[in-house]
Amino acid sequence: MKSVFIFGYYGFKNLGDEAILSSIVKMIKEKDSRIEIFALSYNVKYTESTHKINGVSRNSIIDIIKAIKNSSLVISGGGTLLQDTTSSRSLMYYLALIIVAKLFKKPVLFFCNGFGPIKNKFNKFLTKKVANKVDKIVLRDPKSKEIMESNGIVKLKEVTIDAAFSLNGVNDVRAKELLANENIPTDKPLIGISVRPWSVGEDFLETMAKFADYICERDLNVVFIPMQATKDENISNKIIEKMKHRAFILKKQYTPQEVLGIIGILDILVAMRLHALIFAAIKEIPMIGIEYDPKVDSFLKMVKQKNGGKVETLDFLNLCIEFDNLYQERVKVAKNLHDIVEKLKDVSKQNKEFLSKML
């Protein structure tokens, strides 16, 4: 029986990464339901119960080597894994997985990955050596291809779109039920805000609190949407504590499909998280991005949506102006977004084709 080993930032309850894994699993099962799937995970029980696949603890070297050795294909499954912004340790970990796969002569697929930045000279050298041994590279955006090539990775690269674009959300009725269960009203237009912890100070929290209050004063409801359990909740609650008006927050643990459905009934989404923005695009919801990483700006340009500013220099007045303009033009923006997203969904079909050829 064929088996596939997928590695990524899984099991941390980050809905973006879980959406990627869900999409990859779906594509594999549609190709051949008999293929056994193993995925690297921080929380094996969570991964196995959520995705109905086999989890492999990222802390068990023996289990990882066994899964790679027994696999017929190793997949780097989405996300920006090869970068040293987070840490060199993370980069070395993922490079080691690829090296082990090649030692066992296993085909390796980079599937819908982002790439970079890599700043350390030795990290650049090692990444170039390892990445040039990969059998197939499929990237999620043109910027990643540009960075790869500037780092000396000469392997042929395909550019498609994030794997999460093939995800289906729950319907509007179910999404409203989920909000009702948390006593979040849908009687007024609903504005979503998705923030994440970053190197932010009090200024950022104050600006976001004032901005959320500004939205409330326009007789609109605000709901904070955590994309990663605990981490996003904490910073969201810090902002809510500084607000004068009432805002809501999703408190329960949801699947990517459920949060995609919830974002689909918003009027506007304001978000730092890339996959919150991707979910909005899938559902054709007008958005404003807050840039903490170049990948956010890259995606906003792809879908022709507004960048509200960088986290470090976020300006309250500018954010309000951008919001007012978008709210007034939201029907027109949603229509334009529809045309763009239809093309991107066509591009996402190539992901399945590339994956099928490697299986």
What single string gives the DSSP state of each residue in 34-77?
A: T-EEEEEESSHHHHHHHHSSEEEETT-HHHHHHHHHT-SEEEEE
- For residue 226, give the CATH number of its domain: 3.40.50.2000
| Count: domains in the chain | 2
For residue 226, say if its preceding peptide bond is cis, omega within 30 degrees of 0: no
Range of the domain at 304: 172-344
Q: Calculate the dihedral angle through the C-alpha atoms of 309, 233, 268, 184, rounding to the nearest 10 degrees.
A: -160
Q: What is the CATH number of the domain that holds 14?
A: 3.40.50.11720
User: Alpha-carbon distance 220 to 200, whole Å?
Assistant: 26
Q: What is the DSSP string of 214-262?
A: HHHTTT-EEEE--SBTTHHHHHHHHHHHT-SS--EE--S---HHHHHHH
Do both 192 and 240 map to the same domain?
A: yes
Query: Which of 159, 187, 203 is the C-terminal boundary of a domain?
Result: 159
Q: How far apart are CA 92 and CA 130, in angstroms?
A: 11
Largest Cα span, the chain: 61
Retrieve residue 80's tokens: 């920006």
Strand order through the sheet with 157-159 = 54-57, 36-41, 3-7, 73-79, 108-113, 136-139, 157-159
**For 236-275, b where at least 16 C-beta lie within 10 A, e where not — what string?**
bebbbebbeeebbbbeeebbbbbbbbbbbbbbbbbbbbbb
The confidence score (pLDDT) of residue 119 equals 94
Domain boundary pick from 135, 159, 183: 159
Residue 355, in any domain of the structure:
no
On whether the CB atoms of residues 91 and 79 are closer than 8 A, the answer is: no
- CB count in 10 Å sphere of residue 320: 16
13 and 155 assigned to the same domain: yes
**pLDDT value at position 58?**
98
Looking at residue 229, its pLDDT comes to 86
Domain annotation covers residue 333 = yes
Q: Tell me the C-alpha to C-alpha distance, in Å, between residue 133 and each of 97, 106, 130, 180.
A: 13, 11, 5, 51
Domain boundary among 105, 133, 159: 159
Q: What is the pLDDT of residue 1?
A: 79
List all residues 6 or more positions away from 184 whose beta carbon is below 8 Å from its beta carbon: 190, 221, 223, 248, 250
Q: How far apart are CA 126 and CA 133, in angstroms?
A: 11
Spatial neighbors of 162 by CB under 8 A, at least 6 apart, are 20, 78, 112, 140, 141, 275, 278
Q: What is the pLDDT of residues 167-199, one digit of tens each?
A: 999 999 999 999 999 999 999 999 999 999 998
Q: Is residue 196 part of a domain?
A: yes
Alpha carbon dihedral 95, 98, 102, 104, in 10-degree steps, equals: 120
Picking from 136, 59, 137, 73, the residue whose alpha carbon sits closest to that of residue 104 is 73
Per-residue pLDDT of the chain (359 residues; tens, 9 = 90+): 799 999 999 999 999 999 999 999 999 999 999 999 999 999 999 999 999 999 999 999 999 999 999 999 999 999 999 999 888 999 999 999 999 999 999 999 999 999 999 999 999 999 999 999 999 999 999 999 999 999 999 999 999 999 999 999 999 999 999 999 999 999 999 999 999 999 878 999 999 999 999 999 999 999 999 999 899 999 999 999 999 999 999 999 999 999 999 999 999 999 999 999 999 999 999 999 999 998 899 899 999 999 999 999 999 999 999 999 999 999 999 999 999 999 999 999 999 999 999 99
Residues 151 and 188 grouped into a single domain: no
CB 245 within 8 A of CB 217: yes
* Gap between the Cα atoms of 146 and 159, Å rounded: 11
280 within 8 A of 272, measured Cβ to Cβ: no
* Residue 351 belongs to a domain: no
Query: How buried is 43 (Cβ within 10 angstroms: 0-12 exposed, 13-18 middle, 19+ buried)?
Result: middle
Asked, for residue 349, whether it belongs to a domain, the answer is no
Instruction: Output the six-digit token pair for 72.
Output: 């017929």
Residues 188 and 122 in one domain: no
Residue 341 main-chain phi, psi, to 5 deg: -70, -35
Q: Which residue from 297, 281, 275 is spatially nearest to 347, judged by alpha carbons?
A: 281
